[in-house]
A and B are shown apart, each in its own frame.
Chain A
Amino acid sequence: IAGITQAPTSQILAAGRRMTLRCTQDMRHNAMYWYRQDLGLGLRLIHYSNTAGTTGKGEVPDGYSVSRANTDDFPLTLASAVPSQTSVYFCASSDSQGQDTQYFGPGTRLTVL
């Protein structure tokens, strides 16, 4: 069992380009989350999904979009990347529509030049 996987591990991207970060979990968890982690700011929630077919905005959603077509996958898209989106991105999932502990993927380190 892999748990949660993220791809790519790291990426350098030119400003203005479109980028999709992938997240897949095999635990059949209902809820999934995307966070960014920046030095001095901690983990901040970008978007979340409590169950397949539904999504919601977190603390810092601007410039990002998500979809939840099925239980396992929760991709995060940057439509037109900007340097301020340089960060480490973590995907997480939890059971019981978010009432249980969140478990994190290994992260994607994104640099926007």
Chain B
Amino acid sequence: GQNIDQPTEMTATEGAIVQINCTYQTSGFNGLFWYQQHAGEAPTFLSYNVLDGLEEKGRFSSFLSRSKGYSYLLLKELQMKDSASYLCAVREHGQGGKLIFGQGTELSVKP
């Protein structure tokens, strides 16, 4: 089975940098996804990591360490619109495309 842990909530200031951590335990890791979900809306894809290292996409970056079962999502130059829930999800080998989601981290960006 899998266990995925994320902080429940975080607060940061507009213009700052915030790092959202995700730890996981899995029997056969096959990729980690980050999604953003604004209140009342559907999750939208942010990033995907399957190899160790950093993936950068504009203001957002995602890091993976498979040996540590650890990932983080880094958001730079925070904007008010970044206030949302950030979901970490893991895919296992031999399970098709099924994802197991963490509970999500609610990020509040303050002026």
Contact = CB atoms under 8 A, between A and B. Distances in A.
Interface of A: 31, 33, 35, 40-45, 48, 50, 56, 58-59, 90, 94, 96-107
A82 B104 CA distance: 26
Q: Which of A31, A43, A90, A100 has the most CB of B within 10 A?
A: A43
A50 B87 contact: no
B60 interface: no
B55 to A, nearest CB: 13
Interface stretch (B10-18, B37-45, B72-80): B37-45
Contacts of B103: 40-42
B44 A101 contact: no
Nearest to A44: B101
Nearest to A103: B45
A113 B76 CA distance: 44
5 contacts: A31-B97, A42-B104, A101-B45, A103-B45, A106-B41
Given A33-B98, A107-B42, 11 more contacts: A48-B97, A48-B98, A58-B98, A94-B97, A97-B97, A98-B97, A98-B98, A102-B33, A104-B44, A106-B41, A106-B42
A110 B44 CA distance: 21
A105 B96 contact: no
Contacts of A35: 101
Interface string B6-38: 000000000000000000000000000100000
Contacts of A43: 43, 87, 89, 101
Contacts of A42: 87, 101-104
Contacts of A41: 103
A107 B87 CA distance: 16
Interface in B52-111: 87, 89, 96-104
B38 to A, nearest CB: 12
Nearest to B47: A101
A45 B44 contact: no
